[in-house]
Amino acid sequence: MTPERWEKIKGLLGTVLEVTPEDRGSYLDQSCAGDEVLRREVEVLLQREPELGSRFLNAEGLAVAAATLFSDEPNPWIGRRVGAYQIVEQIGAGGMGEVYRAFRADDQYRKEVALKVIRGGQDSGSVISRFKNERQILASLDHPNIARLLDGGTTSEGLPYLVMELIAGQPMVEYCEARKLSISERLGLFLQVCSAVQYAHQHLIIHRDIKPGNILVPDDGVPKLLDFGIAKIVDAQNELEQLQSTLTIFRVLTPQYASPEQIKGEPITTASDVYSLGVVLYELLTGRSPNGEIKGTSQDAIRAMCESEAIKPSIAVRTSTGATTASDDSAQGGSEKLCKQLRGDLDNIILTALRKEPQRRYASVEQFAEDIRRHLTDLPVLARKDTARYRSSKFLLRHKAGVAAATVVVIVLVAGIVVTLREARVAQRRFDDVRALANSLIFDVHDSIKDLPGSTPARKIIVDRALQYLNVLAHESAGDVGLQRELASAYERVGSVQGDYLENNLGDAEGTLASYRKALALRQQIARASKDLQDRIALAQEYRLVAHQLWANGDPRAAREPIAKAIAISEALNTEKAEDLKILYELAFDYEVSGRIGYPGDTSATQKVLQDYRRGLDVNEIVLKLKPNDIHWLHGYSTDLGSVGNMLEASDPAEALRSYQKELEIDRRLTQLSSDVRFKRSVAIDYGEIASVHDDLGEYQAAVKNNSKDLAIYDELVRSDPKNVLLQQGFAITYMNTGATCARAGQIARALEYSKRALEIMQPLVVSAPPNGFQRGVFAAMLVIRGTILTRAGNPDSAITQIEQGRTIYEALSKTGAKNVSNIAEADVKSGEAALKAGHDQKASDYFHRALTIAEPSIATDPPDLDALYAIADAHSGLGDLSLTKARHAGIRAERRKSYLSEARSYYQKSLETWRRIPHPNHTSPSSFQAGDPVVVAKELKETETALADMH
């Protein structure tokens, strides 16, 4: 009975059982539709219902009943219970036993198994001995690619049996043919089989009957090695017994897959399994046997299998007219394409495994498998092409007894030396070619497209591929300083594309840090082995890259150590060799990054940062006198001018504006000298910085005008390179800055539109790169600014929701060491202002007081934190506004109104005292949040005092 027929019977039977007995006849008339055989089979099973009782619907019990009732040829084992197992049907037969599908029937647990017993007529002492041997072998093996032994015992007749896991699969060759697997997929399956055989060899077991039929592959694609019936346990002291059993073993082995030494009755070693695996692999890849079609007597067949060399697999597939092979799949391009795939490495690998002399095959299955793995990864293989000279020497050795042994040895040695030298030259040439290709990709192809719009993904692919090549070479050339330099450069370029804040990148900030650290480790090794000046400069650069990325990822404290090391190396080099342009460039860059990182926890941080930037400017100015049109130096000078402007903006906005305008002038010049996208981006940033100064001074229309220029440039850049994360991030920031300025200028609708668009662009960037501390800080600020815009637009409740989200991000960042305490306080102030506008007086009071608690410790330092001063000034004025609002409520008693007015006066006075501590109060805080106005606070204080005086 076929499985399909059985499923049909079982399905119909399950439905009939739900019908009352008196209605079953008419139901079967309709359901069987004239199929009398089907109706009869169901009725026969229904007759067993009373006998089987409640277990009738059990799948195993039903199967036993069906097998017993419908078997064409009665089998005494079907339906029989052996030990704890009930036999259902026969599923196979081996050299000495029969295999049945069975299930555990002792109510301990339910599991289908394969149960093997000695076949009828094969119960001689030697067969039973071998059967018990197989059981013992399987009991000692535990490997995912070997069928597991589950149980064993002896039948009532004294015959041994064993119980194995049931493998529902196809023989490996059939499995591959049915699915049209490619060469690499077939090799992948084969490697798993090699793993199983090598495992058996490590446990001193030789299989001796490896063939496709003993390798089943289930639907999960994990091959299982079966049938250890003629396997032997290796025992060096048992040679006599091995020789005596040769004839018996020959009768049960499979000659087509047996090694020559097995067929000739010679001692068996693990090399025999290597040969059998070679035959299986030959058939797996070509669809034919390596022995070809043998004609003549049995002696002719034995002679052919023991002496005739196999045809190369690449040639065999051209002439094969037999079984299906991988070439039948049109996707493989036919037999010619398959021939090309097999030619070379695979030819040599397979023929090495199939050599007639055991000592000339692979020394182990692991060595065989390793050559296949090397082939799959495009590495040189151990197998060497057999030569005509060697074939001749072997022929003479077999047939010319008069040839002197010494002559043969000389021929073999000379042939080996020639092959070794030739292969060494080929390997070196291949090494050099791959190295040249990798370097061409990194330095020529990558750099030629680096500045093209939209090239970021392509750059990543190019550098990744080059790095793969170099990593492979590095394993084969440890200690090669030149190769280490190339690897370090490759890691730097990969890092810059992954997520470097200063480069066009793909948003993987943590990936960048990891790549830079790998490059640093290589540069450190190189510096220890080299006295070259360039290697020391490169080491300083690597420390600087790691430091800058740590800062960008939100860890400025960790960044201080590597940037300090970079500066120390560069300053020492500058002392040794003054006015070297490469050293000066690195030194200026180190100063700039040091200023950007800052000095967390240092009370004199502001002055130190400003000193770093000015040192960088000094170095740039020295070089630009010599090379006024040098792009790198102009860019460095421009960057330092912007950094100085940032530092001066809070204390001297007029001087900051002059720095920004000079920076804009240089960056415009750079766009004329180079097409590099970063220079055009710098011009956009310059407009934004100029807008921020106008914003500080309350010149909102001028701020909107400059921010709009910034936005227009970013829009153009993003359209040309939409996958560039750096540009997307700048675009979002510019949208938010422009929106905030529009809100201050009274353009509320435009402010709402721009701030919404900013969050839509920025949020996916943050989600895709959660470890990026800088991005998360920017996103938090955007949420707070969006909240202030919503407050102005008359939607304070939504404003509080947005601001609280930003505050939550600030709190998380503060736990990583980022300087965000003042930002948290400022967010609370903005929430308080929104709550006050919404009429939530108590909520507003709580926000303002929480801001004061957070910010006050930060103004106890010398100098005090400017952002904290702005937050405290605004919190006090907010509390004053709250008290003044309460005092103006109608219907309150005079004493209560006087109390509220007194509170308001006190808060306004504290706000003005804080404002006086700010050297140059601006309309925005250093963190770019809209700030209050001390002039307005003074006016409200005067009104409050007047109201109090009127009450006397």
Separation CA 390–CA 813 (nearest Å): 71
Separation CA 170–CA 194 (nearest Å): 18
Q: Where are the alpha helices (DSSP H) in 627-769?
A: 631-648, 653-673, 677-696, 700-720, 725-744, 748-768
- The β-bridge partners of 162 are 116, 152
Which tokens go with 201? 């060899």
Contact 150, 165 (CB under 8 A): yes
Handedness of CA 463, 468, 471, 477 (dihedral sign): negative
Handedness of CA 356, 357, 361, 365 (dihedral sign): positive
Which tokens go with 331? 């996707």
Contact 257, 292 (CB under 8 A): no
Nearest Cα residue to 880 out of 920, 833, 834, 924: 833
Which tokens go with 624? 């630009």
Separation CA 273–CA 197 (nearest Å): 8
Q: What is the CA radius of gyration of the chain?
A: 42
CA 42 from chain centre, in angstroms, equals 55
Residues sharing a CB contact under 8 Å with residue 120, sequence separation 6 or more, in sequence order:
98
What spatial distance separates the first Cα and last Cα of the chain, rounded to whole Å? Answer: 112
Write the CA distances from 371 to 40, 196, 346, 357, 384, integer angstroms: 60, 17, 9, 19, 11
Separation CA 202–CA 225 (nearest Å): 16
Nearest Cα residue to 195 out of 138, 257, 145, 139: 145
Helix axes 345-353, 365-376, angle to 10 degrees: 170
| Pairing label, strands 160-165, 149-154 | antiparallel
Residues sharing a CB contact under 8 Å with residue 43, sequence separation 6 or more, in sequence order:
28
Which backbone phi and psi does 81 adopt, to 5 degrees?
-100, 125
Contact 706, 733 (CB under 8 A): no
Separation CA 816–CA 63 (nearest Å): 65
Contact 934, 909 (CB under 8 A): no
Run of H or E including 609: helix 605-626
Q: For 888-949, what is the HEC assignment?
A: CCCCCCHHHHHHHHHHHHHHHHHHHHHHHCCCCCCCECCCCCECCCHHHHHHHHHHHHHHHH
DSSP letter for 819, please: S
Contact 310, 348 (CB under 8 A): no
- Per annotation, catalytic residue among 23, 123, 142, 209: 209
Nearest Cα residue to 355 out of 275, 265, 257: 275
Nearest Cα residue to 886 out of 841, 844, 943: 841
Q: What SS3 class is residue 10?
A: helix
Which tokens go with 753? 């539109």
Nearest Cα residue to 323 out of 291, 288, 363: 288
273 assigned to active site: no
Run of H or E including 521: helix 509-529
- Catalytic residue set: 209
